[in-house]
């Protein structure tokens, strides 16, 4: 009996196995087992889970696999539209894009593909007026009209895209950000950089800024998105130093339900320590929820005389208003 046949029998019995378990049960070399597993993964018979060194393999139950769902034939215009605007991560951790992703999304909700795609296109059209000529969204007016602030310190606030839209949920950028942070996935972070790097650099250039700042992360993680962003943008401008000062128990903004409490959290847990002076600072954050982080940091920058003008840039932001982005 071949190693492949032995491996398939093992999967029938145990459903999920590691390379080490297969090596012990078959007596085959580690390299041979890897070759067999790669072949089974490529054929869709087995699914690879996790990342090295915590990788395991699971038998695919073909009758329940969503990936067997085939989208209908689309013309190039509709196909390009879905590739640009629709992306999901399924329950197995697969990144799906375009028509394939939309077919899965519709099947999960028992919705007709073509009718729902037409409704999705109408929704995207509805949101178009919010984007400026550079494809960015100006959230300044929403922040100015948000109750709870004693003072709006930030001069202007923009974001590259909405975090989510009505009915259809997270935007592609919102999806990438959510799973990149939650899973600490450098793979998804790199995909994000491909989408946003040119846009961020262009934004900074158009703003004629002479310094940049990055909102520091609240929760300790092995891989921090904001540090990854700063490193990979590799901007030549000076970076204003901002520190996160936590109490005994770090409290992330997303866990705070009221905007007044978010403002107090931001006011008391961020410290701007840079002694230099600039004219215009661009303050970058990953997700603008309440707006408290960027606004209160902007206040600290101004009160210390570091810069007279501060413009905020979020990778994603809220459509309905501030105080809603709570799971990034």
Could you read off the pLDDT tens digit of each residue along the chain, which spans 328 residues? Answer: 788 888 988 888 888 999 999 999 999 999 999 899 988 888 778 888 877 777 898 887 654 445 567 889 999 999 999 999 999 998 777 889 999 999 999 999 999 999 999 999 999 999 999 999 999 999 999 888 888 899 999 999 999 999 999 999 999 999 999 999 988 888 899 999 999 999 999 999 999 999 999 999 877 777 889 999 999 999 999 999 999 887 656 666 666 778 788 888 888 889 998 999 999 999 999 999 889 999 999 999 999 999 999 999 999 998 765 444 445 5
pLDDT at 211: 98
pLDDT at 62: 52
Verdict on whether the full-model pTM lies above 0.75:
yes
Q: Going from the N-terminus, what domains does the chain have, and what CATH number goes with each?
A: 3-63 (1.10.10.10), 66-128 (no CATH), 131-317 (no CATH)
pLDDT at 50: 77
| Helix intervals (H) in 246-308 | 259-269, 292-303
Measured CA to CA, the distance from residue 48 to residue 310 in angstroms comes to 46
Query: How distant, in Å, are the alpha carbons of 81, 104, 219, 222 from that of 251?
Result: 39, 36, 8, 18
| Cβ atoms of 297 and 242 closer than 8 Å | yes
pLDDT at 326: 47
Residue whose C-alpha is closest to residue 149's, from 259, 241, 313, 61: 259
pLDDT at 249: 64
């Amino acid at each position: 009996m071949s190693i492949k046949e032995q491996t398939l029998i093992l999967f029938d019995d145990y459903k999920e196995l590691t390379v080490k378990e297969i090596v012990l049960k078959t007596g085959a070399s580690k390299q041979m087992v890897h070759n067999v597993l790669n072949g089974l993964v490529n054929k869709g018979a087995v699914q690879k889970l996790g990342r090295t060194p915590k990788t395991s393999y699971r038998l695919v139950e073909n009758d329940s696999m969503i990936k067997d769902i085939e989208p209908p034939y689309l013309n190039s215009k509709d196909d390009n539209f879905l590739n640009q605007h629709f992306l999901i991560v399924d329950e197995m951790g697969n990144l799906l894009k375009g028509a394939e992703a939309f077919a899965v999304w519709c099947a999960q909700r028992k919705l007709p593909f073509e009718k729902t795609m037409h409704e999705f296109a109408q929704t995207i059209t509805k949101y178009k007026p919010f984007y400026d000529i550079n494809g960015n969204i100006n959230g300044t007016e929403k922040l100015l009209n948000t109750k709870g602030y004693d003072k709006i310190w930030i001069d202007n606030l923009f974001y590259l895209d909405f975090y989510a839209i009505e009915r259809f949920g997270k935007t592609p950028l919102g999806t990438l950000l959510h799973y990149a942070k939650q899973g600490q996935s450098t793979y998804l972070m790199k995909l994000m950089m491909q989408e946003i790097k040119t846009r961020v650099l262009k934004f900074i250039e158009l703003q004629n800024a002479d310094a940049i700042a990055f909102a520091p992360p609240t929760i300790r993680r092995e891989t921090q998105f904001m540090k990854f962003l700063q490193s990979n943008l590799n901007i030549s401008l000076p970076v204003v130093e901002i520190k996160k000062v936590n109490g005994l128990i770090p409290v992330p903004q997303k866990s705070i339900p009221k905007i007044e409490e978010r403002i107090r959290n931001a006011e008391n847990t961020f410290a701007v320590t840079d002694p230099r002076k600039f004219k215009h600072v661009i303050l970058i954050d990953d997700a603008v929820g309440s707006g408290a982080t960027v606004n209160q940091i902007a206040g600290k920058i101004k009160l210390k005389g570091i810069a007279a003008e501060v413009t905020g840039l979020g990778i994603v932001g809220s459509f309905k208003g501030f105080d809603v982005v709570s799971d990034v």
